[in-house]
């Protein structure tokens, strides 16, 4: 997924503020479901919560840059998934992270629906 860096994403020096890399990754994860018309934001179904993030800030993105977020599934279980996401600019890695997400309903882990698991299986490394 390509994202343009806007003024609102940067600090006073035009450098992307560190937390916005996480926002960019969240947008890319959401797009996976939007593209497949899966309503992941349906409270009756359940939802994902972030349980772990391991981030590496390698280089800075700047105001006006066009960056690309790629997402790969590292590990898929019945209740959780580990994703690897990278943000690049012209094939140069700027940011890399592994995120662990758990599927929950009413604040308790539950087995994720099969259609979501099937979607993730397509993205396995």
Hunting for tokens 């797009």 — which residue is that?
31
Hunting for tokens 């600019």 — which residue is that?
89
Hunting for tokens 């969240």 — which residue is that?
26
Examine the residue annotation and report whether 65 is marked as an active-site residue of this protein.
Answer: no
Task: Give 33-76 as a DSSP string.
Answer: HHHTT--TT-TTT-EEEEEEEEEEE-S--BTT-EEEEEEEEEEE
**Cα 59 → chain centroid:** 18
Q: Which of 9, 11, 39, 118 is catalytic?
A: 11
Angle at 28 between CA 24 and CA 7, to 5 degrees: 30
**Residue positions annotated with a catalytic role:** 11
């Amino acid at each position: 997924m390509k994202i343009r860096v806007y003024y609102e994403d940067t600090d006073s020096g035009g450098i992307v503020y560190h937390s916005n890399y996480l926002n960019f990754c969240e947008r890319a994860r959401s797009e996976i479901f939007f593209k497949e018309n899966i309503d992941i934001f349906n409270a009756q179904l359940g939802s994902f919560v972030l349980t772990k993030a391991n981030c590496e800030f390698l280089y800075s993105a700047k105001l006006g840059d066009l960056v690309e977020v790629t997402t790969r599934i590292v590990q898929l279980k019945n209740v959780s998934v580990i994703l690897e996401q990278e943000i690049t600019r012209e094939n140069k890695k700027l940011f890399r992270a592994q995120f662990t997400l758990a599927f929950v309903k009413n604040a308790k882990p539950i087995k994720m629906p099969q259609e979501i698991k099937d979607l993730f299986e397509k993205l396995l490394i």
